[in-house]
Amino acid sequence: MKKLIVLLLLVLLILMQTITGFSFETLTGQAQETATNQVDDFLKRIDWHGEYDVIVVGYGGAGATASIAAADEGAKVLLIEKAPKGEEGGNTRFAMQAVISIDKENIDKGVEYFKNLRGKFNTPSDEMIKTYLNYASQNYEWLKYLGAENISVFPFREYDLPGGEVMEALLIDGEIWTSAFYRTLQKAVEERKDNIEVWYESPGVGLIQDPETKIIHGVLVENNGSLLNIRAKNGVVLCTGGFENNMQMIQDYLQLPYAYSKAARYNTGDGIKMAMEVGANLWHMSNIAGPDLNVLNPETNTAFAYAIQGRKAADLCTGFACQNVIFVGADGTRFTDESVLPNHGHVNFHGSWVQMPVSLPAFAIFDETARLSQPVYPTWSEGNVEEIEKGLIIKADTIKELAEKIGINPDNLQKQIREYNKYCSDKKDPIFGRARDTLKPIKKAPFYAMELVPSFTNTQGGPERNENGEVLDVKGNPIPHLYSAGELGSMFSGIYQGSGNLGECAVFGRISGKNAAKVKSDVSQESVMEGRTPAKPVWKEPEVIIPKSGEFIGEDRGIGGPIKVLVTMKDDKITGIEVVYHNETKGVGTNAIDKIITSIIENQTTDVDAVSGATVTSRALMNAVKKALDKKE
């Protein structure tokens, strides 16, 4: 009976097709047309202020890469940035500038290494690791394609784990901390100005999503006090970085009452919140490249430098902690080996790499010998005299008095220093195994303390993405037309390999930018701007200086962007140097500027030794002055 019914239905369908031309394809086409009409209805309900093929949110390394990739596919791209012009760049601008790489023949070994980095965690998937390393093997040629010329390749593995021997990193111009990678991306964006429009002081504050289809149709952008609905025909790429400067999110996700970043003042978790509002799943929210220990810069509310913990090496650490210095916690006792710089905040704990435990509050305790041995940071004063005057360093005649001043138990601190000094005499630290040559006693009064704070390079958490760069919802499905790149939802779940985050900017920036640029069939490609006037964004441009007689302008590029100087001359002598524009870090790069200007005027030459710790700023300032002097001739 059932077979007969099925047979009759088939005959009926054939007759319908013969008589009316009906087909399954027709039905499918009608359904698709209905869905598109639904989309069109949603688009018509929005008061649009602009329209592009792709919108990229955030002008750091990931955002620049995604914009370039989309533009090279022929897309018209809007790149929006929260920071003022000249302060863009996120963490990429301040990073070491090493970009991960691997030889194509070694990818299987690289996968083994990344699985070891993943450890017992379930993510990232093997497929995502393979995608990441496949693209990483193309990074050298990609940088050449962008115009980088002097690219060096060097072996680089951060952990002694199987497979790590094949990992490499790339440097442009062979130097670290120069912002060379970011400047290469920035130049490539500027070269594509016909396809990439950049808006500064224009944060994304929300995503425009159809509640029925879940398609992301655009971004709600704040500019000059107005909220603008900007349509993205084919895709939005979130590249807003992490939540390094959002203390509430730090408390909520990192289980730290406070921690401070080393840069990226504008990274406050905006992209994470935007993604959550449209149903994105979050991953790796508790993972950070940290913590290590630093002094807080009160002018910027960020750490002064990379770290003072560990030996001075490759400009990663000042080495001050290897002097007559110990770190103590809230109870006045030591909690770590001061001579070891953690691997992006991770230490080996009985064969497993874990985030370094930190007691809060924490203090560096040292004596007069240590104070005179070196500045705590290269940009600090000789003998750290100015920092004592500013209150960054607390001074006392006795250990007991010092403990009372910083609010910890005097008996515990005195006992701890007696024990530590005995380790120095014995040349053996039985508790933490501090290196013998760094066991230097704390004996010579007066004594000093500095409060230390947990600091970190960046957060890793955010919306989960797949190997196509698509942002996933809580059920694991892609949110239509939404992509991400960079540290926003980084693939690193456990321990982090240096150069890996810039690698994610390069890899997923390319993947997401290209995929976002693909013309989508589930949405009308007709313009929504017919009869509408596109909004004109507003931001502050750097002041234009017109030199007078005897004045000359020169410009070069520091780590924060352009440095422009006005040099005044009289009778062939330099009488004044005014920095009319810069975005170097207060208390770090700005110290270098003041010292170099004084030295140039006193010595009447630009051949001045660069200030250690701010070499990029120093070199850029001197080059800017040289270029100004060249105009005199």
Q: Which of 36-50, 191-205, 234-248, 330-344 is least confident?
A: 36-50
- Domain CATH for 419: 3.90.700.10
pLDDT grade for 613, boundaries at 50, 70 and 90: very low
Whether 219 and 239 share a structural domain: yes
Residue 577 lies in a domain: yes
| Residue 250 vs residues 262, 267, 461, 500, 600: alpha-carbon distances, Å | 14, 12, 11, 22, 43
Whether 305 and 446 share a structural domain: yes
* pLDDT score for 250: 97
Q: Which of 357-371, 426-440, 571-585 is least confident?
A: 571-585
pLDDT grade for 571, boundaries at 50, 70 and 90: confident
* pLDDT score for 580: 84
- The two tokens of residue 116 are 């070891």
Complete DSSP assignment for 8-49:
HHHHHHHHHHHHH---HHHHHHHHHHHHHHHHHHHHHTS--S
Residue 611 has pLDDT above 50, yes or no: no
Residue 596 lies in a domain: yes
Q: How far apart are CA 168 and CA 610, in angstroms?
A: 29
* pLDDT score for 2: 53
- The two tokens of residue 606 are 């630009």
pTM: 0.89
Residue 125 lies in a domain: no
Q: Where are the beta strands (DSSP E) in 34-177?
A: 50-57, 77-80, 99-102, 151-155, 167-172
Whether 357 and 447 share a structural domain: yes
Residue 23 has pLDDT above 50, yes or no: no
Which pairing describes strands 77-80 and 196-199: parallel, antiparallel, or unpaired? parallel
Residue 297: which H helix or E strand, with range? strand 296-297
Tens-digit pLDDT profile for residues 94-151: 898 999 999 999 999 999 999 999 999 999 999 999 999 999 999 999 999 999 999 9
Whether 348 and 480 share a structural domain: no
Residue 25 has pLDDT above 50, yes or no: no
Residue 331's contacts (CB-CB under 8 Å, 6 or more residues apart) are: 359, 408, 409, 412
Whether 451 and 568 share a structural domain: no
- Domain CATH for 572: 3.90.1010.20
* pLDDT score for 304: 87
Whether 84 and 12 share a structural domain: no
**Final residue of a domain: which of 456, 471, 489?**
456
Q: How far apart are CA 107 and CA 110, in angstroms?
A: 5
pLDDT grade for 586, boundaries at 50, 70 and 90: low
Are 557 and 565 a contacting pair, CB within 8 Å?
no
Look up the domain containing 446 and give its range.
293-456
Average pLDDT over the chain reads 91
- Please state the rounded mean pLDDT for residues 149-154: 95
Whether 184 and 282 share a structural domain: yes
Whether 199 and 308 share a structural domain: no
Q: When comparing pLDDT for 595 and 452, which is higher? A: 452
* pLDDT score for 588: 61
pLDDT grade for 26, boundaries at 50, 70 and 90: very low
Whether 70 and 200 share a structural domain: yes
How many domains does the chain divide into? 4
Decide: residue 607, CB within 10 A, 0-12 exposed, 13-18 middle, 19+ buried: exposed
Share of the chain above pLDDT 90, in %: 73
Whether 435 and 468 share a structural domain: no
Residue 335 has pLDDT above 90, yes or no: yes
Whether 361 and 433 share a structural domain: yes
| Residue 551 vs residues 146, 606, 619: alpha-carbon distances, Å | 36, 17, 21
Q: How far apart are CA 326 and CA 328, in angstroms?
A: 6
Residue 72 lies in a domain: yes
Residue 32 lies in a domain: yes
DSSP state of 105: G
Residue 102's contacts (CB-CB under 8 Å, 6 or more residues apart) are: 110, 133, 136, 137, 166, 167, 168
Are 369 and 440 a contacting pair, CB within 8 Å?
yes
Whether 496 and 405 share a structural domain: no
Decide: residue 168, CB within 10 A, 0-12 exposed, 13-18 middle, 19+ buried: buried
Residue 86's contacts (CB-CB under 8 Å, 6 or more residues apart) are: 542, 560, 561, 562, 581, 583
